[in-house]
A and B are shown apart, each in its own frame.
Chain A
Amino acid sequence: AQKVTQAQTEISVVEKEDVTLDCVYETRDTTYYLFWYKQPPSGELVFLIRRNSFDEQNEISGRYSWNFQKSTSSFNFTITASQVVDSAVYFCALNNFNKFYFGSGTKLNVKP
């Protein structure tokens, strides 16, 4: 069975703190893709990153970084020096065989 778990329901930080959002996935397949999406208070879904199962390199994009570890089936997302504009719900998702499975989301509150 495919499953994505985001155990952190809500996280609150003060601006400029670093924060890591956890994502653990389950799949028996060897070929799959992992994603992170951002849903700001306005409601739209914004694509952040896609990673395929054969590429375990970590990625950094500005203040965002992602750590993919197949050994622990995790795909964690770190925001460095958080800003108020980072306040949103973040979803991790798994894709394989044409289906998508989303986690329940982590709501991040960044306070000034």
Chain B
Amino acid sequence: EAQVTQNPRYLITVTGKKLTVTCSQNMNHEYMSWYRQDPGLGLRQIYYSMNVEVTDKGDVPEGYKVSRKEKRNFPLILESPSPNQTSLYFCASIGTEGAGGYEQYFGPGTRLTVT
């Protein structure tokens, strides 16, 4: 089954304690991305990756890091989380289709609370 998995699904942590949210896809997609969803703001792109070792900033990259050492994995790292990073996070991967363009597959989401 084609899917994007994220772990953990729920996380409560304290300010300053480094954490990693993992993301993995089994569709051999080259493009992967992280988003955060906040009430009234929709989804905002944090980082994306066009391929292994190729990453770039989205609209809201401050306070986040990513790495892409393998095609299937795209972890999101918060080195020093702060309360304003409390949010719902989605990982996504994208495969191109014959006519061009992208269909984006989303993971189930990770709800992060930073106290």
| Majority DSSP secondary structure for residues of B touching A | strand
Q: A44-B108, A45-B90, A99-B58 are known contacts. Are A105 and B103 too (CB-CB below 8 A)? A: no
Q: How far, in Å, is A71 (CB) from chain B's closest CB?
A: 21
Binary interface encoding of chain A residues 48-82 relative to chain B, with 1 for a CB under 8 A from any of its CBs, else 0: 00101000000000000000000000000000000
Interface size class of A (residues with CB under 8 A): 20 to 34
- Residue in contact with B104 in the complex, picked from A4, A47, A52, A105, CB distance below 8 Å: A47
With contacts defined as CB atoms under 8 Å apart, how many contacts are there between chain A and chain B in the complex? Answer: 54
Residues of A within 8 A of B (CB): 4, 6, 9, 33, 35, 43-45, 47, 50, 52, 91, 93, 95, 98-105
**Given known contacts A52-B99, A52-B100, A105-B42, what 7 new A-B pairs fall within 8 Å (CB)?**
A43-B88, A47-B105, A98-B31, A100-B33, A100-B35, A104-B40, A104-B42
Residues of B within 8 A of A (CB): 31, 33, 35, 40-45, 48, 50, 56, 58-59, 88, 90, 99-106, 108-109
